Structure 1
């Protein structure tokens, strides 16, 4: 079997342009992938076509070699852009392998370690940033059967915050804890916002509400800063979604301080993601992959999680996107009582719905502007 072509499609979702890949072969089997990166839809699409010559005419089964060449042989550090493009192509190879062999991708990754996956809700807090509204919205999430939910209570904060906004963020965390009770996990999203000092102040104040983790409290570029927070925080630290190669995770894990690793398969490929999961296991850590892109990203993470012994919890946005987004793929994940199960259909078990995709074109304003007031409403950014 040989790869003959790679096509790309962009879906203009209101808060992020989703980038999809369709790989064709000389045997008529095609595979799909996703390469979404916030704010860089067209850029990643171009990168996919620049990487395409590395795989055209090659066997899609040789996925690890393709990943190596698309990362190493370019001899440039393209960061998340290169990683997203690589992943979109690599995911399509895995899909083709599964279809050709008649098995779901998780079977190719080592087989089933979990019959079902516990999930946490994200994307649910799209209203006003008040304790009363967060309380009300959190109640609705729990009524849907979720046993865990994540949110960013920090508004547009960056590096440091004033006393009023500090108090509001803590009040929002308290309101959510009051809404969901003591038996539900709450996960606090930091979005790389703070200095070490500010992050630790927040960690100390939120600790009374028993968060399961404080995610990405400081920028990812400085591993030493993340380690400093992890050493001193009374709340477990989770991070990793920004990294795009194994070496970055090796440095993070070598300090033995962060044990909840949120690798992003869509920035490094599934081959590397499985290896990072194994590295994490060696440090007695667990993985909770970042799954906040499009619906295929969520399915990819579900296959990885199903085949990973040290899986912790799966992120779900799909339930809180616009209804039409459920039609972008022929099959999506179905959340029941706070859990999902991966399909046994071959490959990813789904396909692109090109007719629906054509209705939602790319728009430059479709991205999540995390440092603007009201970003959590996930509305298109009209004025940059």
Structure 2
């Protein structure tokens, strides 16, 4: 299966432009992938085309060599942009491999480890930042069968927080716990917002509401800060979605402080993601991959999670996005009463609906402004 060409498509979802690729082979088999990166859709698209001379003409089965060429051989650290370009192409290669072998992706990654994957809902709290709104929306989520849900109650906070805003965040957490009852997992999203001392103050204050994890409480660049919070926090810390290479995970894991790892396959590619899952397994940890990009990202994570013994939770954003999203992929991969399974068709088991995608063009205002008041409404920035 010799790669002959690559096409790219940007879909203008209001909260984040999605980037998809279609990788063609001389034999006529094609694969699809995703390279979505908040605020950088056209940049990643340009990177894919600038680097295509490194993978066109190669076998789609040579995923490790293609990864080396797109990362090592360029001899530049393009970070998440370079990682997103790689992941889009490498995912499409795995799709081709699955189609050529007649097997779904999870069978190629180790086979079925779970009957089904427990999901947690994200993106469900669109609207005003009030305890009443969060209570109402959380009630709807658990009525749909979810046993876990994640949310960011912190508004536009950055590093430190005024006391009034601090108390509002805790009131929102209390409202969600009241809405969902004692047996539902609530996951608190920090979005890399805080200094170490602010993160620890929040961890102590949220403890009475029994959160399952406190996600990304401090910026990811200083691993020592993440480790300090993880060791001192009474709430388990989860992180990892920002890292784009194995070495960053190796540095984090060697401290044995964080044991819920949220790797992002869209920055790593499937091969590296599977290897990192093994690294986490060796450190007695669990994985809950970040899956808040586009709908294809969720399908990739479902395959990876199904083939990973130390899988914990699967993130779902898709059910709480624009209603037309379910038509972007054919067939749609749907959640049933809080659980999901990857498709059993060869490769990823889904295809792009180009006709539906064409209805939703790129717009530069399609991104999440996480440090702007009212970002929770997820409206396009004009």
Normalising by structure 2, we get a TM-score of 0.99
For 2:28 and 2:181, the matched residues in 1 are separated by 53
Could you list the runs of 5+ residues in structure 2 that have no partner in the other structure?
Answer: none
Give runs of aligned pairs for residues 1-12 of structure 1, distance below 5 A. Answer: 1-12=1-12
Question: What residue in structure 1 maps to residue 117 of structure 2?
Answer: 117
Contact map agreement 1:13 1:366 (CA 8 A) in 2: yes
Contact map agreement 2:34 2:297 (CA 8 A) in 1: yes
For 2:96 and 2:204, the matched residues in 1 are separated by 48
For 1:308 and 1:277, the matched residues in 2 are separated by 7
Q: Say which SS state the counterpart of residue 273 (structure 2) adopts.
A: helix
Contact map agreement 1:299 1:332 (CA 8 A) in 2: no
Is 1:63 paired with 2:58? no
Question: What residue in structure 2 maps to residue 93 of structure 1?
Answer: 93
Question: What residue in structure 2 maps to residue 360 of structure 1?
Answer: 360
Could you list the runs of 5+ residues in structure 1 that have no partner in the other structure?
Answer: none
Contact map agreement 1:186 1:211 (CA 8 A) in 2: yes
Q: Deviations over 1:109-128 (max 9, x none)?
A: 01111120000000000011
Is 1:24 paired with 2:17? no
Is 1:282 paired with 2:282? yes
For 1:7 and 1:72, the matched residues in 2 are separated by 23
For 1:133 and 1:268, the matched residues in 2 are separated by 36
Contact map agreement 1:153 1:172 (CA 8 A) in 2: yes
Q: Say which SS state the counterpart of residue 238 (structure 1) adopts.
A: strand
Cα RMSD of the aligned pairs, angstroms, is 0.6
Question: What residue in structure 1 maps to residue 248 of structure 2?
Answer: 248
Contact map agreement 1:91 1:270 (CA 8 A) in 2: yes
For 2:44 and 2:215, the matched residues in 1 are separated by 26
For 2:290 and 2:68, the matched residues in 1 are separated by 22
Question: What residue in structure 2 maps to residue 13 of structure 1?
Answer: 13
Q: Say which SS state the counterpart of residue 319 (structure 2) adopts.
A: helix
Deviation at 1:342, TM superposition (A): 1.4
For 1:115 and 1:59, the matched residues in 2 are separated by 33
Question: What residue in structure 2 maps to residue 141 of structure 1?
Answer: 141
For 1:210 and 1:103, the matched residues in 2 are separated by 41
Is 1:154 paired with 2:154? yes
For 2:290 and 2:331, the matched residues in 1 are separated by 20
Q: Say which SS state the counterpart of residue 352 (structure 2) adopts.
A: coil
Q: Say which SS state the counterpart of residue 115 (structure 2) adopts.
A: coil
Question: What residue in structure 2 maps to residue 43 of structure 1?
Answer: 43
Q: Deviations over 1:144-194 (max 9, x none)?
A: 110000000000000000000000000000000000000000000000000
For 2:17 and 2:50, the matched residues in 1 are separated by 20
For 1:171 and 1:181, the matched residues in 2 are separated by 15
Q: Say which SS state the counterpart of residue 188 (structure 2) adopts.
A: strand
For 2:285 and 2:91, the matched residues in 1 are separated by 25
Deviation at 1:341, TM superposition (A): 1.2
Question: What residue in structure 1 maps to residue 129 of structure 2?
Answer: 129
Q: Say which SS state the counterpart of residue 359 (structure 2) adopts.
A: coil
Deviation at 1:332, TM superposition (A): 2.4
Question: What residue in structure 2 maps to residue 327 of structure 1?
Answer: 327
For 1:89 and 1:50, the matched residues in 2 are separated by 13
Q: Say which SS state the counterpart of residue 201 (structure 1) adopts.
A: helix
Question: What residue in structure 2 maps to residue 347 of structure 1?
Answer: 347
Question: What residue in structure 2 maps to residue 265 of structure 1?
Answer: 265
Deviation at 1:328, TM superposition (A): 0.9
Deviation at 1:333, TM superposition (A): 1.9
Contact map agreement 1:19 1:41 (CA 8 A) in 2: yes
For 1:376 and 1:128, the matched residues in 2 are separated by 7
Q: Deviations over 1:90-138 (max 9, x none)?
A: 0000000000111100111011111200000000000111111111110
Deviation at 1:370, TM superposition (A): 0.2
Deviation at 1:352, TM superposition (A): 0.7
Q: Say which SS state the counterpart of residue 267 (structure 1) adopts.
A: helix
Normalising by structure 1, we get a TM-score of 0.99
Is 1:239 paired with 2:211? no
